[in-house]
Chains A and B, each alone.
Chain A
Amino acid sequence: MMMTRRRVLALAAGAAALPVLQLLPTSAFASVEETQKMIDDFAGGQELQSGKLTLTAPEIAENGNTVPITVEVESAMEGDDLVQSVMILAEDNPRPEVATFNFTAMSGTAAATTRMRLAKTQNVVALAKMADGTVYMDKKEVKVTIGGCGG
């Protein structure tokens, strides 16, 4: 599976001009390779499948410091048809890890919403691990705009 670093949107150009984002990194940004390694570790050799897992995120985030994301996996959430966990990664943040949701049969459905930080326009990746070991992936590009007003 190949991931290409997406072209940074023209909207976000001039990012260096104003310290708009709070999330100014002191270290280098995470690499696509680093993200790939985390995906491989999570998948444990399983082939990544698509379908079943849906990651919902705004196409354009009004502020990268607070971006709502929702993951949902089609599953009966009982017996063998159970989602164990969903990991969220961000390719171009200072670190790729965002969060890992752990579900149980008591969850009823494998769905969760949270709010995350995105340092710039990038892909957000979600991976779901089922009880039988299969792994699903979904990915969305979120464009992070640079506001005009830092106040």
Chain B
Amino acid sequence: MEALTEFILWGWGFWLARTVIYTLLVVIGLLLTVAYLTYTERKIMGAMQRRQGPMTVGPFGLLQPIADGVKLFSKETIIPSQAHRVVFLLAPMLLFTLSLIAWVVIPFDKGWVLANLNVGILYLFAVSSMGVYGVIMAGWASNSRYAFLGGLRSASQMVSYEVSMGLIIVCVLLVAGSLNLQDIVLAPRPVWVQIMLFPMLVVFLISILAETNRAPFDLPEGESEITGGFMVEYSAMTYALFFLGEYANMILMSAMTVILFLGGWLPPFGMSFLDFVPGIIWFALKVALILFFFIWARATLPRFRYDQLMRLGWKVFLPFTLAWVVLMAGTLMTFDALPSQVRADNPIADVVGVVEGAASELEEVIENVVEKTKSNNETE
């Protein structure tokens, strides 16, 4: 009994303390990044529109995000009297929590990951596909027309673009041969495979804009038509949670792109003489690159019309990515470039084996049917 308590105290205590500290590090780092992402966004958009952006609070306006945060925290949270209180308050919490829990599987560097899941990419996909609930619940619980329209728009938009995102992930998995995010980063990729993945990178970048409800796909907010969409009734803390969730999701999607396509924490273009730079710096730089793309798109492009958005998702991206999965699989098979571990573990997985297996199965079935009909005829 004493040994057990000691084990629980020391073994579990140590494990728990370590996990809590790592989690806090990730969460605080993320929140700081979100704060300064808003600052960077305003600065970049200012530069693109020949303005200065925030300048007055602190040197170069560097304390602006903190001032904004303090302002949001100190305001009054208003809950409309017609709103469904519980769901109304649950929605921003859900969105914010989901944008945080996805980070447990993101590898920042080799081995720097909170939970090295075997199905990491599926976990990431699952969490990002649940993000729609925060928006849809907010839209419904506000009990307001504009908010409801925003919720409806976002539900159909996010579901539509998830489909092509899933197919793009399949393309990458064909190359990597694993669902683990670290294995996906470390899987060797010849140059021609990278070139074949490039169109998927372009489609993925557009899809993550739609998935995070960012301009030019920010129809759920659409301030010029539905005055702020699903967030229209939210104020103070609840609004801040939506805001934090949206930006944390942007960073998450950027990290996902970096892991799937840009080689995670590895130095760019396989330049191994750059290995002395810590991996997390490469990771951060690559994420910053994708985030710049987010802001660039927002400052450049006007908002899509809703039917055009749906047309792009279902009639352009879905057939294209579907065809590309087939093309990738066929090419990898033809040039014998499928991931080696799959071939090594599985002697039946080569083309001949699959086709023969299917053929013999079919033969068996046909034989069975023939025999049955024969015996039936005989009995008659």
Partners in one complex: no
Which B residues lie at the A interface, using CB under 8 A?
none
Which A residues lie at the B interface, using CB under 8 A?
none
